[in-house]
Chains A and B, each alone.
Chain A
Amino acid sequence: MQKLDPTQLPATLGGQLRRHLPAYALGMVMLGAFQLAMNRIDWLSKHAIDRIFGNEAGAPSIPALTMLVIAVGAFVTRVASRWFIFNAGRDVEYEMRFLMLDRLQKLGTAFYRKMSAGEIMSRATSDLAQVRLLYGFGVLNIINVVFAFASTLQVMLTLSAFLTLVCLANIPILVMISRTVSRKLFTATRENQDSLGHLSEVVQANLAGVRVVRSFALEERERERFEVANERYLQASLSLARLRGSFQPIAGATAAIGMLVFFWYGGTLLLKGPENGGLTQGDFFAFWLAFVRMTWPMIALGFAWSMIQRGRAGFSRLKEVFDAKPEVVDGTRRAPAHVSGSLRVTELDFSYAARDAAAGAKSLPRKVLDGVTFDVRAGESLAIVGRTGSGKTTLALLLARLLPTPPGAVRIDGIDVCELPLSAVRSQIGYAQQDAFLFSTTVSRNVGFAIDDPDSPGAMERIRHAATEAQVLGEILTLPEQFDTVVGERGVQLSGGQKQRVALARALVWEPKILVLDDPLSAVDARTEAAILEAIERQAERRTVVLITHRVAAASRCDSIIVLDEGRIIERGTHDELVRAGGLYAAFAEEQRMASELDELDDVAIPSNPAPVEVTS
């Protein structure tokens, strides 16, 4: 398979059409040949019949046998035309989907705040499908209708211009009907899908919240919600059915009127006979064949017409993704060959301008980070401590340029990260995020996410090792297929703590020069935490570690600690210094000591089989 280069792919309707021009041209030739063959068949039928009924000299078997051969030719060209053009449509769809992922990967949080996952998916599915229909069905039918018109008119006009005129009177009506119905069908189909979507949302929420529903005895309310959604879907599917059902009779009746006109007036001409300016049996037959042949392309024209409009509308929605500007782009400087891993942050300010502007806040956007300055020497460890909302995560994201880092604020080995290519920054600063997002693939693929060939024996070794370090190996081995168990979405569900440790193992496998761990232990119990912290310490021997945490036990193991509060560093020093200083950090330390003592209740030896002490006062 040839690799596509996203930069070479045109993201415009015209560009894609030009790119696949050879296929379209071949398809066009095939369509031309097909319609020519059909035209020949009409004429051959005429000759055969006229020869049978003595209107023409010669043996009827010659045109009849020629017809056999041409019918095979028509078959081949018809299949080939669809093959070329529909496949081109599929190729366009494929390339646009490819482009879409490419764009989505470059876009940052600013974009994802504006466009929800649902909206993105609707572009990738229904809008893209509309575009594909435009490039397949739409193009084919537009080309076909031209040839079909030429091919049938040639027969019909030659035989009787007036009959042609009379018969064709209803053709524009047919085109308009099919176009209107096609439009309405689209709306009705969408409503049908929306109501199905709503219905599954209702069911989904009901099942996901099954414990709440039962605890609060909400069944009655839920049943009503369901009834409303179910009824809406029923009505939507019935109105779609009415519309679909009505198209055939309306189009059929319109086409039938044409047919009737033909049989009646054509019959009159047949009655006159060729000698009086009428038709021969062969003429009648050939005209009939040609006329029948014209109906479908005309109906399809109506469909193709509205399909082109929808395809363009769908494409304009795709453009919103294609044209979105990534907020974080590659720097121009070449990636350094060797990185020691020192990190320097100077006067880092940051605010989520876009979000506040969108919310309509009149005041200046609140600074999430304000003048944050610190240094971490290569190979040292730093803990960032602070309450929820103090800006810890934002700071971590800025280090790896996962948000638009202001130029000059973050330096690796003295080089501004904004000047480096993104791939270089992110391979040197590894950020492991707070919420443990796992992919719905096997456990080993999740842990070995950062490894290029996760199936090699060496990789498996590393994966196992990381799982051991993250204290999750034992649990993985109890899963139905151990490391090959598929987790997530539709696979085995892991507990919050297990997910977090798998995610931690994923970060440990990675081995970047600077490892940023964002609260990797929030859902892990104290004993496991201690073991994991030792593993992180071992990591810290080989690299620079930035540990974001609200746990003092974790922070105390780091070489230095900074305390963030409302975006500012309010304290810095070692654990002992900060505890002595008696500030926020010391308060944290105290709070957590109390909490951990409560936890230790479990570890206090109590009689293994105590008689329940029922104290009654």
Chain B
Amino acid sequence: MSADEAPKSATPPASRAAEKLKAFHEESSIGKAYDARLIRRLWPYVRPHSKFIVVSLVMLVFLTALGLMRPIVMGDVVAKAASRDAHGLMRDGAALAGLLVVMQLMSYAQIYAMQLAGARSMSDLRRSVFMFLQRLHLRFYDRTPVGRLVTRATNDVDAVGELFAQGVLNAMGDVFTLGGIVVMMLVLDWRMSLIAFVALPVVGLIVNFVRKRSREAFRDIRAKTARLNAFLNEQVSGISVVQAFGREKAAAAEFDEINVAYREANKRSVYYEAVLDAAIEMVSTLCIASILWWAGFDHLGEHTITFALLVTFTQYIRQFFEPISMLSTRYTIMQSAMAGAERIFQLFDEKAVHPPASGAKCAPSGDEDVVALDHVIFSYKEGTPVLKDVSLHARRGEKVALVGATGSGKTTIASLLLRLYDADAGSVKVFGRDVSEYDEHELRRSFAVVPQDVFLFSGTVLSNIAMADAKPDRARATLALERIGALELFERREGGLDARVDERGANFSGGERQLLAFARALYRDAPILILDEATASVDSDTESRLQIALDAVMQARTSIVIAHRLSTIRAADRIIVLHKGRVAETGTHDELLTKGGLYARLYRMQFAHERAQASDRTVGVTPAPPPA
């Protein structure tokens, strides 16, 4: 966090870390403003709403035409005044008024129709992104930060939406206006027109020059804003670390550099915007002055230029430069829209997706085995298999404990059963059918899962227990809590079952979250329970509650328990000992003991230990094993 961390653009980055960070934070490349391939892919989303676009464009044509007529009518008012035609003056005044009102109404309708088409198509596109994300393989989530994916559905779609919100299609109107004015001016007085046309390339150059820089400044601002906010946000969430390490000054210095960079980028943008606006105004004033000057000469000669023509011409000149400036703004929007579309379609090109749910029912075969793995091989990363030839099964109503060290593949087995991942080789069967034959939802409805890290959604205690139900069954949730012996614990909380749950359950302790997960499983009442026992330490009160809850959920269900506590292991009908991705031993507690292998050695150690500690303990003692 030295002072040279984020150097001014002039000096090269002073350190390696600074370079990395800069490369990491700054927005990389800017794409093309037009890409036919992307437009073609966007079209299906826009087509259902294209009638609004057609309406909008038709109105745009009318508007442009009316816009071209306005200076003529104005000039005519003046002409009528000059020719002392009081009646004509009244009529022209009324025409001008009517023209203006019609134009304003039409422009409202034109803009709104465009927005309507845009907002609706973007809503559809956003839905597609969301639904696509639901079908992506979990492998994809393993390697992609969630924040980036959220951006696809929000910011990137919005960037594309700007095409409509900012009326990029109105660029057609701009071109039309520009052409129309050129024609009108030429018709009215070609010599005076030339003066304005001389200014045109000048304005074009200025706009091009300034916009390019202003675009850069704007891009810079965006990158700096993101960095500034990310940094501040991080400082706030990590403030205790900063304070504990006494790094306030260093952090402030780093923040100051980002803050300064942000300010300077903004100042540059302010400058360019001001120059652009003022330059266009200056050029139109210069044009008017030149025309007056020219008119002076001309007037001395042939008296061809009337005052009315002068008024009309001035008005045209004022309208002349606007489309040029607009066109350049729209170019910028196009660019960022294309970049957004590019990122969205890149996501859509991702191959690792599940096919859409078929909805096909799959009758369970009469097989006794509720779940069975047969010579399963699986790896998350190629070359490092997590499961190396695993075969195991659980019969109806059986409680199977999976035992083994971290990384031995226990949790992976659970994921394969739910078909969160597909096995590389071998078969995974549920109720006698291969998991790939099921409709995914159908398959997963057979399971109740209690994961190690319980994820709570923001909502209420009730909505979290009755997760899958739109209308939660309160009585059933209460019963579930009661059966796990946690009803009074949650009723004690303010709001009871309706107590608020913050994002990710931040306002609930680890133990409470575990209990809620048990209640979820009971509420769900699925035939198969998968339980990944939490390893995190909880206080003894919660510990005993969890034990009660565990017994309640396992009752009358086929259970696969990834066990960490000896009491749970001993309560199992059968124990499967996993070691480095292989099944080392399988059997009941008694069988494994008689066999005298791995498990037996473990148990004897444990047994001897427990006999040595004969005296009663009030705290921290594992409860006596329940009868098998």
Interface residues of B in 11-31 (CB under 8 A from A): 14-18, 20-21, 24
Q: What separation, in Å, do the CA atoms of A455 and B296 have in the docked complex?
A: 71
A599 at the interface (CB under 8 A from B): yes
Ranked 7 nearest A-B pairs via Cβ: A60-B296, A602-B405, A64-B293, A249-B104, A615-B587, A67-B289, A264-B93
CB <8 Å contact, A224 and B470: yes
A372 at the interface (CB under 8 A from B): no
Q: What separation, in Å, do the CA atoms of A284 and B520 have in the docked complex?
A: 80
Chain B residues near A264 (CB-CB < 8 A): 77, 89-90, 93
Chain B residues near A210 (CB-CB < 8 A): 138, 141
What's the nearest-Cβ distance from chain B to residue A173, in Å?
Answer: 15
Q: What separation, in Å, do the CA atoms of A452 and B247 have in the docked complex?
A: 9
CB <8 Å contact, B270 and A440: no
Given contacts A211-B138, A241-B112, A486-B20, contact A203 B252 (CB under 8 A): no
Cross-chain contact of A217 among B274, B404, B440, B618 (Cβ < 8 A): B440
Cross-chain contact of A426 among B245, B266, B591 (Cβ < 8 A): B245
What's the nearest-Cβ distance from chain B to residue A494, in Å?
Answer: 12
CB <8 Å contact, A445 and B260: no
CB <8 Å contact, A263 and B138: no
Q: A263-B96, A432-B244 are in contact. List 15 more A-B contacts (CB 8 A).
A: A71-B285, A83-B270, A214-B420, A216-B520, A217-B444, A223-B131, A248-B104, A270-B82, A388-B537, A426-B246, A427-B246, A484-B16, A594-B610, A610-B585, A612-B389
Q: What separation, in Å, do the CA atoms of A87 and B235 have in the docked complex?
A: 27
Interface residues of A in 9-43 (CB under 8 A from B): 41
Given contacts A218-B467, A219-B441, contact A205 B289 (CB under 8 A): no
Closest chain B residue to A117, Cβ basis:
B236
CB <8 Å contact, A52 and B296: yes
B326 at the interface (CB under 8 A from A): no
Chain A residues near B233 (CB-CB < 8 A): 117, 121
Closest chain B residue to A431, Cβ basis:
B244
CB <8 Å contact, B246 and A61: no
* Residue interface mask A48-79, B partner, CB < 8 A = 1: 11011100000111011101100110110011
CB <8 Å contact, B619 and A584: yes
10 contacts between A and B (CB under 8 A): A90-B266, A201-B503, A204-B150, A212-B451, A430-B245, A490-B147, A597-B609, A598-B606, A613-B584, A617-B588
Q: What separation, in Å, do the CA atoms of A224 and B134 have in the docked complex?
A: 13
A102 at the interface (CB under 8 A from B): yes
Chain A residues near B154 (CB-CB < 8 A): 196, 199-200, 203
CB <8 Å contact, B270 and A86: yes
CB <8 Å contact, B602 and A601: yes
Cross-chain contact of A60 among B234, B299, B602 (Cβ < 8 A): B299
CB <8 Å contact, B24 and A486: yes
What's the nearest-Cβ distance from chain B to residue A65, in Å?
Answer: 6
CB <8 Å contact, B504 and A601: no
What's the nearest-Cβ distance from chain A to residue B154, in Å?
Answer: 5
Q: What separation, in Å, do the CA atoms of A246 and B110 have in the docked complex?
A: 11
B38 at the interface (CB under 8 A from A): no
Interface residues of B in 420-479 (CB under 8 A from A): 420, 440-441, 444-445, 447, 449, 451, 455, 457-458, 467-470
A347 at the interface (CB under 8 A from B): no
CB <8 Å contact, A604 and B274: no
* Residue interface mask A570-604, B partner, CB < 8 A = 1: 00000000000010100110110111011101101
Chain B residues near A74 (CB-CB < 8 A): 278, 281-282, 285
Chain B residues near A121 (CB-CB < 8 A): 229, 232-233, 236
A550 at the interface (CB under 8 A from B): yes
Q: What separation, in Å, do the CA atoms of A230 and B1 have in the docked complex?
A: 41
Cross-chain contact of B588 among A201, A256, A452, A615 (Cβ < 8 A): A615
Residues of chain B at interface, number, CB under 8 A: 180
Closest chain B residue to A268, Cβ basis:
B89
Chain B residues near A599 (CB-CB < 8 A): 405
A97 at the interface (CB under 8 A from B): yes
Q: What separation, in Å, do the CA atoms of A4 and B259 have in the docked complex?
A: 12
Interface residues of A in 236-286 (CB under 8 A from B): 237-238, 241-242, 244-246, 248-250, 252-253, 256-257, 259-260, 263-264, 267-268, 270-271, 281, 284-285
CB <8 Å contact, B134 and A442: no
What's the nearest-Cβ distance from chain B to residue A15, in Å?
Answer: 19
Chain B residues near A63 (CB-CB < 8 A): 292
Chain A interface: which size bin?
A: 35 or more
CB <8 Å contact, B134 and A223: yes
Closest chain A residue to B403, Cβ basis:
A601
CB <8 Å contact, B582 and A612: yes
What's the nearest-Cβ distance from chain A to residue B567, in Å?
Answer: 10
* Residue interface mask B87-130, A partner, CB < 8 A = 1: 00110010011001101110110011001100110010011001
CB <8 Å contact, A256 and B101: yes
B223 at the interface (CB under 8 A from A): no
Interface residues of A in 99-124 (CB under 8 A from B): 101-102, 104-109, 112, 117, 120-121, 124
Given contacts A211-B451, A215-B449, contact A590 B617 (CB under 8 A): yes
* Residue interface mask A115-145, B partner, CB < 8 A = 1: 0010011001100000000000000000000
Given contacts A124-B229, A216-B468, A606-B584, contact A256 B403 (CB under 8 A): no
Given contacts A214-B444, A612-B391, A612-B582, contact A591 B455 (CB under 8 A): no
CB <8 Å contact, B1 and A445: yes
Given contacts A60-B299, A601-B602, contact A65 B293 (CB under 8 A): yes
Q: What separation, in Å, do the CA atoms of A595 and B563 have in the docked complex?
A: 12
Cross-chain contact of B598 among A61, A230, A588, A604 (Cβ < 8 A): A604
Chain A residues near B150 (CB-CB < 8 A): 200, 203-204, 207
Given contacts A97-B259, A211-B451, A249-B104, contact A400 B274 (CB under 8 A): no
B290 at the interface (CB under 8 A from A): yes
A158 at the interface (CB under 8 A from B): no
Given contacts A207-B133, A249-B104, A590-B613, contact A241 B281 (CB under 8 A): no
CB <8 Å contact, B293 and A271: no
CB <8 Å contact, B97 and A91: no
Given contacts A215-B449, A617-B588, contact A267 B78 (CB under 8 A): yes
Closest chain B residue to A550, Cβ basis:
B537
Chain A residues near B175 (CB-CB < 8 A): none
CB <8 Å contact, A60 and B295: yes
What's the nearest-Cβ distance from chain A to residue B22, in Å?
Answer: 11
Q: Which residue among A52, A271, A453 has the maximum number of chain B CB atoms within 10 Å of its CB?
A: A52
Cross-chain contact of B299 among A52, A246, A427 (Cβ < 8 A): A52
What's the nearest-Cβ distance from chain B to residue A488, in Å?
Answer: 8
Chain A residues near B81 (CB-CB < 8 A): 267-268, 270-271
* Residue interface mask B473-507, A partner, CB < 8 A = 1: 00000000000000000000000000000011000
What's the nearest-Cβ distance from chain A to residue B95, in Å?
Answer: 10
B286 at the interface (CB under 8 A from A): yes
What's the nearest-Cβ distance from chain A to residue B248, in Å?
Answer: 4
What's the nearest-Cβ distance from chain B to residue A82, in Å?
Answer: 4
What's the nearest-Cβ distance from chain B to residue A282, in Å?
Answer: 9
CB <8 Å contact, B620 and A245: no
Given contacts A260-B97, A427-B246, A433-B241, contact A489 B147 (CB under 8 A): yes
B363 at the interface (CB under 8 A from A): no
